[in-house]
Structure 1
Amino acid sequence: MALVIRDAEVLTMDAVTGATPVRRSIRIDGDTITEVGTRVRTDDTDTVLDGRDRLVCPGFVNAHTHSWEYLAKGRYDNLPLELWMLYSYPILGARPLSPDLIRLRSLLFAAESLKSGVTTLVDDVLETPAQDLDQLDAVVGAYDRIGIRADVSGHVINRPFVDTVPYAADRLPPAVVSTVRSRPVPTAQEYLDFSAEALRRYRDRAGGRVRYMLAPSGPQRCTDDLITGAAELAPAHDVSCHIHVLETKVQAVTGREFHGSTLVEHLRRIGALTPNTTLAHGIWVTDADIDLLAEHGSGVAHNPVSNLKLGSGIAPWRRYHRAGVTLGLGTDGCSSSDTPRMHDVLKAAALLHKVTGPDHHDWPRADEVLRAATAGGARTAHRHHEIGTIAPGMQADLLLYDLDTLAFTPRNRAELQLVHSENGSSLRRVLVAGRTVVEDGRLTTVDEDALRAELAELMPGIRAEQDRLERENDVFADAFEWMHRTCAGEDVGVHRWSGPDPSLARSH
């Protein structure tokens, strides 16, 4: 028995019709799209959905996010990245979370993602003070259960945190620096062994719908042998190697101070730029950096909402496109953007770059934004062979929007209205691998009300622990504030943007 969507307006996002709506029918057998055309085969046993007044597009790929920040949603404001990390990524005092809480956290994050049209997560999961396989199992199991597609990482930092940023260690009490440096960090071999086991363990999980990816935190936070090993392991298993690079001006200064070059040039020098390498953020890049990424086929996951909230900067959208660098779109974490909703990201990407130059021919087009949210994200996740477009042989990850709503009234250009007018309220059905996981705003695979009630009971204890960690990590705040101000005033010769306002006040 197949599912047929008949006579819908379809954004195929393929090389022929792209983001131009075309009237098409779609046949889905099992988890796979088998036919797309003005007419498709139907059998008596098929389920047929009337596609009239419906817009169908590929499911969104959240090309960079951190589900583990979900418990700190709405907790911080007016903090640049390095100061924000003191509290959301505590350096001192963190206690391991139980697999049960991680399961609950992951289910809620995935639930909100699915209800907003995200069918694939590139989830860079960090557990503090360290991640074990039981914790990773909890994330993978939650995503398998709820029905979302996901790449799940073991995010790793294997340098002492005070040594991952310039200048700060010199302004901290020696006893604090000594304490941080005495904390155990994984060796490169330990991380690669952990990753090899995870890759083996999850190779066939949910038919490949949920899998493991490599995620060295960044070239300033990981040793070269770890990054190089991860970059070699990723293509061997046909997954991505996901690395935070040049998110802030501090990181631009870091490259010069630590390596005598940009961080992108350093990655090239150690052999870590490959078609499987994806840079998260990529804001403070030089023109030469962009050319290197294009030369090596590496992609960028762009996070405009998070970058705005943290005052990190504005990525060079048009320069990336001109160089042929593939862009995906991500929400980043729920503590740096406070939502996993991709509709917010689409609109921000479409609007933000219009203020970076007066030539309106260079401004983002709706079709480019939609491509980044679908086919581009699939490419940066190294899943472009199975998702991101609507075509025979692709996985049936689809979104069905009701065109008979105020967001699409009057009906003009559906692709523009999807980017600029729609906020997810018109989304009627979400399919992942041919299975309906959201119908009329309700999840079909889990009890959302029960999940929220379960978390509500736990929140008093979670908040008390967050308060304790913030008090303990306040010791770093003045030194990191000084470092942020110092780096914000430095000329690092990057492609664009003058940097965050150094007068940003610390508040939490």
Structure 2
Amino acid sequence: MSTLIQGATIVAMGGNTGTEPFQGDILIEGDSITKIGKDIPPSPGVEVIDARGKLVMPGLVNAHLHTGEALYKGRYDNLPLELWMLYSYPVLDAEPLGERLIYLRSMLVAMEALKTGTTCFTDDMYESPQQSMAQLGAAVQAYDDVGIRATVSGHVVNKNYLDTVPFAREHVPAALQDEIGKSAPPSTEAYLEFAKEAYTRFHDRSGRIRFMVAPSAPQRCTEDLLLGANELAQQWKVPFHTHIVETKVQGCTGPALYGRSLMRYMHDLGLLHPGVTIAHSIWVSDEDIELMGDAGVSIVHNVISNQKLGAGIAPVRKLLGAGVNVGLGTDGICSNDSANMFDVIKAAGLIHKVTTPEYGRWLNAGEVLNAGTLAGAKTARIEHLTGSIEVGKRADLLFIDMKTSAFTPCNDIRNHLVYCENGSSIEAVMVNGDIVVRDGKLTRVDEAALLEELRQLMPEFLSYHAKVERSNSRLFPYIDEIHKKCALMDIGVNRLGTDDAYGTRQ
């Protein structure tokens, strides 16, 4: 099937035009863009879309999210990460969730994402107490059904929880330590075999679904698992996706457990390279940033989640200056409470303006849009497939009505996209050449029926989860002590203050 988009205002995010808007046509054949120009004549049988008065741009890329949190959306507030995780990633008494609930949970996020302009996301999918192939398959099926492009992980933790949090062995009572120790994490061998089977089953399904390896964080995984996962990622050309120094507690973790920063620890293991994508990277030193830039890693800036959890502000200008690729993500659908990437784009455009009086260092709208599209695709190692409008790339596109209040009056379109638009002007969404949203409605699934089915299952789930919360609340006072202890420690980095052009100010 061929489609010709005529008379659009195009923001390509790639090629010679970059973020500069221009008028033109786009020819799509099958799943890919085959021609971009002006006055392209329609061939017989081609579907013509009149895009006069419309903005056509690449679909947004959510480079880091956890759909597993969707069932806790709107449930928690005013908790820092380590305390919040006791409930959203329970240590004690978690039971495996059923496949249908996981399917609906994944669908909930994917439907919101598509309707608000995200055509591609990276789901760093974690299950308590550990992931099964059937659970992973349920999420993959949801993404296949709804029509989104997704990179889905086998997220893994293979160390005892108490050995992943600094000073936990000193603060947590012995009885609780013994109880936690009864849950055996997966072995390195078991995880690598799981990853190989998942890759065989799910990778490149429908031309849209990819599998990646995702060791949770260097302090949460054994050295042999980190190295084994990296070997698979390199072999398969998929991301090695992990989390590093999201919080001050994690900033204290490297020195406490390894006698060096977590980034230096990764470097010393040979685990900083262009195939590595790191979520957060807030509490990084200048030395860390130099290591990251020299290695050519990617990071995902999860600006809203980082604010809600009080984690801090990532030094994005310094990271970009060092040569680090920076994408944007929502992070979890409980630490953000939404899958809307336009919210993230606006927050990223705003927050760095308060980090320094040197306004020449503030992020501009073009940089933010790049982070939300092409740079995000690079974090998933699929920048050759998506993230920009270029010949040969997949047709992952947004059709935006420019006659809405968000674009009236119309000045700099890039500023309108970053600061004015929230997804409500989207008329259609295309993924892989197929229209998956038209006039605000999903074309491949019955959204109302799926939401109603999920609502029917929630009372039973919340009854179970309330018991899990009560069990894990026993850890709260001890992790709270660790949080307060780390808050007072000097690790030579301050990401709760502001960065000026000459370094860090308290």
CA RMSD after TM alignment: 1.1
* Contact 1:231–1:273, Cα closer than 8 Å, also in 2: no
Structure 2, unmatched stretches of 5+, are 499-506
* Contact 2:15–2:390, Cα closer than 8 Å, also in 1: no
Question: In the alignment, which residue of structure 1 is the partner of 2:453?
Answer: 454
Return the letter of the residue paired with 1:156. V
Question: In the alignment, which residue of structure 1 is the partner of 2:243?
Answer: 244
Q: Secondary structure at the match of 1:154?
A: strand
Shift of the 349–495 alpha-carbon distance from structure 1 to 2, 3 Å rule, reads: same
Shift of the 168–184 alpha-carbon distance from structure 1 to 2, 3 Å rule, reads: same
Question: In the alignment, which residue of structure 2 is the partner of 1:264?
Answer: 263
Mapped to 1, the partners of 2:116 and 2:199 lie a distance apart of: 29
* Contact 2:294–2:323, Cα closer than 8 Å, also in 1: no
* Contact 1:231–1:274, Cα closer than 8 Å, also in 2: no
With structure 2 as the length reference, what TM-score do the two structures score? 0.97
1:342-353 to 2 correspondences below 5 Å: 342-353=341-352
* Contact 1:240–1:380, Cα closer than 8 Å, also in 2: yes
Mapped to 2, the partners of 1:205 and 1:380 lie a distance apart of: 20
Return the letter of the residue paired with 1:367. G
Q: Aligned-pair distance for 1:334? A: 0.6
Question: In the alignment, which residue of structure 1 is the partner of 2:308?
Answer: 309
Q: Secondary structure at the match of 1:214?
A: strand
Shift of the 232–41 alpha-carbon distance from structure 1 to 2, 3 Å rule, reads: farther
* Contact 1:27–1:41, Cα closer than 8 Å, also in 2: no
Q: Aligned-pair distance for 1:276? A: 0.9
Q: Aligned-pair distance for 1:352? A: 0.3
Question: In the alignment, which residue of structure 2 is the partner of 1:412?
Answer: 411
Deviating beyond 4 angstroms after TM superposition, the runs of 4 or more aligned structure 1 residues are none
Q: Which moved more, 1:267-276 or 1:425-434?
A: 267-276
* Contact 2:355–2:497, Cα closer than 8 Å, also in 1: no
Question: In the alignment, which residue of structure 2 is the partner of 1:215?
Answer: 214
Question: In the alignment, which residue of structure 2 is the partner of 1:185?
Answer: 185
Q: Secondary structure at the match of 1:220?
A: helix
Question: In the alignment, which residue of structure 2 is the partner of 1:176?
Answer: 176
**For 1:200-240, what per-residue CA distance to the aligned partner results, in whole angstroms no more than 9, with x for missing partners?**
11233112x10110100001111111111111210210110
Shift of the 498–225 alpha-carbon distance from structure 1 to 2, 3 Å rule, reads: farther
Q: Aligned-pair distance for 1:273? A: 1.3
Return the letter of the residue paired with 1:184. A
* Contact 1:114–1:148, Cα closer than 8 Å, also in 2: yes
Return the letter of the residue paired with 1:394. K
Mapped to 2, the partners of 1:19 and 1:406 lie a distance apart of: 22
Return the letter of the residue paired with 1:237. W
Mapped to 2, the partners of 1:382 and 1:54 lie a distance apart of: 30
Question: In the alignment, which residue of structure 2 is the partner of 1:44?
Answer: 44
Q: Secondary structure at the match of 1:9?
A: strand
Q: Aligned-pair distance for 1:38? A: 1.6
Mapped to 2, the partners of 1:70 and 1:497 lie a distance apart of: 27
* Contact 1:430–1:439, Cα closer than 8 Å, also in 2: yes
Question: In the alignment, which residue of structure 2 is the partner of 1:113?
Answer: 113
Question: In the alignment, which residue of structure 2 is the partner of 1:94?
Answer: 94
Mapped to 2, the partners of 1:286 and 1:129 lie a distance apart of: 33
Question: In the alignment, which residue of structure 2 is the partner of 1:148?
Answer: 148
Q: Secondary structure at the match of 1:229?
A: helix
Mapped to 2, the partners of 1:41 and 1:177 lie a distance apart of: 71
Mapped to 2, the partners of 1:498 and 1:402 lie a distance apart of: 39
1:484-503 to 2 correspondences below 5 Å: 484-494=483-493, 496-498=495-497
Mapped to 2, the partners of 1:253 and 1:235 lie a distance apart of: 30
Shift of the 134–214 alpha-carbon distance from structure 1 to 2, 3 Å rule, reads: same
> Residue 481 in 1 paired to residue 480 in 2?
yes
Q: Aligned-pair distance for 1:168? A: 2.4
* Contact 2:99–2:134, Cα closer than 8 Å, also in 1: yes
Q: Aligned-pair distance for 1:355? A: 0.4
Return the letter of the residue paired with 1:61. V
Q: Aligned-pair distance for 1:41? A: 4.0
Return the letter of the residue paired with 2:468. L
Q: Aligned-pair distance for 1:446? A: 0.4
Identical columns (%): 49
Mapped to 1, the partners of 2:10 and 2:412 lie a distance apart of: 12
